Amino acid sequence: MSKSSEPFTWKNDIRQPSAGEPWRYPKPDTETPPNSESHYVTLPFVDIVTSSVHNSHGESRFQGIRIRILDKNEGPLPTGRADAVLPRYLEILHAWGLTTEVGEEGPPIERTAIWRDGEVLFHGRTHQSDSRYRGLHVITQGQLERVFVRDLLRHQVLVECCTALQEYTVSESPEDLDRPVRAVIRDNRGPLNLSLTERLTRGRQELDPSSKEAGGKVDANSITPQEVLEQANRIFTPYTVRFASPLTWLAIWKVIERVAEAFPSDNLRVHLADDAAHVHSVFGAFELNASILDASNLTWKLGYCARNLSPTSTLLPTYDSERHLHAANVVEISGKYLHYCCNCDIPAPQTHSLSKDLGAEAIQHAVRGEPLY
């Protein structure tokens, strides 16, 4: 059974146990000086990227660009949301120098077995590729987020928790050429804590099951751990699954599958990535790994444009053309995987039509087995 590693720090480039949480800043015992105006102005060369802390690594580590990272939550997830990193995506983490930390958090899965009604449908090696890495490296989203936050702090980049972008404007006036972008950032430590937005959204969806985000009338809170265990034992017959220790967390998935119409805004000032751009089943850990590729694709391009090494109108649009098609593929493939494992007769989502202008026809033969003419 996978569990979180004990807190540790990489002070002086040596891994050693930590008595607290070194990624927290400011420290709990320190006092923050009062500020009557809790807002800031974003620098003119900073683009606003809506995603998790993945996006900062490719942009800030080597290009000398000043950035700000906002997180509406109070901190990394304490537990839950199991995930895994695939071999190809460990190549990206290797370029960031984070492979060792990520690989030590959880055990690697080297073989996969798929069962249905007591019969083995598949048993073989997991995620074979010609990468230097092998297997599926298990890690929770909270653990991976802490790895990113610690590494950013080593490079003097701070993740500002409990903050969110309220508004931003882009001036076309010749008088504002030096500072054309103005953004207002609010501190959410107030009467309405935006870290509870997910809870408020869930309440709205429960009141309106017909909304697109509701995903039907399934009440996930009514499903108990005992029901999950009974279902697992039916699948794994004649073997038996039991809890080896007290249950720490339980996740019930309510699958929502969709892709954004476009990843960048018309003026190329705002770019979507990760869950803001594509949402699908958690089967196969596609979402986490796709977001790593989103970040690595987008951030170096932002860095080049910010340093005037490439025209913005030429380089930045390639992010949408390259990653939008991949997102459409992931949504469709993960949907097929989910329907296969759940023995579901409902048709899987057909998202290639959303990317017909991005070259989807050229790869239909690889995804669906259709001939290429």
Taking residues 199-224, what's their average pLDDT? 54
Distance CA 235, CA 160 (A): 44
Strand boundaries in the chain, DSSP class E? 8-9, 16-17, 48-50, 69-71, 82-85, 108-109, 111-116, 119-125, 136-140, 159-161, 163-170, 181-187, 258-259, 270-272, 278-279
Q: Taking Cα atoms as reference points, which of 166, 168, 212 lies closest to residue 192?
A: 166
pLDDT of residue 116: 74
Q: Provide the mean pLDDT of the chain.
A: 73
Domain extents in the chain: 42-193
pLDDT digits (tens, 9 = 90+) for 302-320: 888 988 888 999 999 999 9
Evaluate if residue 22 carries a pLDDT over 70: no
pLDDT of residue 43: 39
Q: Taking Cα atoms as reference points, which of 52, 83, 3 lies closest to residue 289?
A: 83
pLDDT of residue 61: 55
Banded model confidence at residue 353, pLDDT cuts 50, 70, 90: low
Rg (CA), the chain: 22
pLDDT of residue 217: 54
Phi first, then psi, for residue 181 (nearest 5°) are -105, 130
Who has greater pLDDT, 36 or 352? 352
Taking residues 32-60, what's their average pLDDT? 44
Q: What's the CATH code, domain 42-193?
A: 3.50.50.60
Evaluate if residue 213 carries a pLDDT over 50: no
Banded model confidence at residue 359, pLDDT cuts 50, 70, 90: low
Who has greater pLDDT, 20 or 136? 136
Find where tokens 């977001």 sit. 291
Q: Taking Cα atoms as reference points, which of 68, 75, 61, 69 lies closest to residue 25?
A: 75
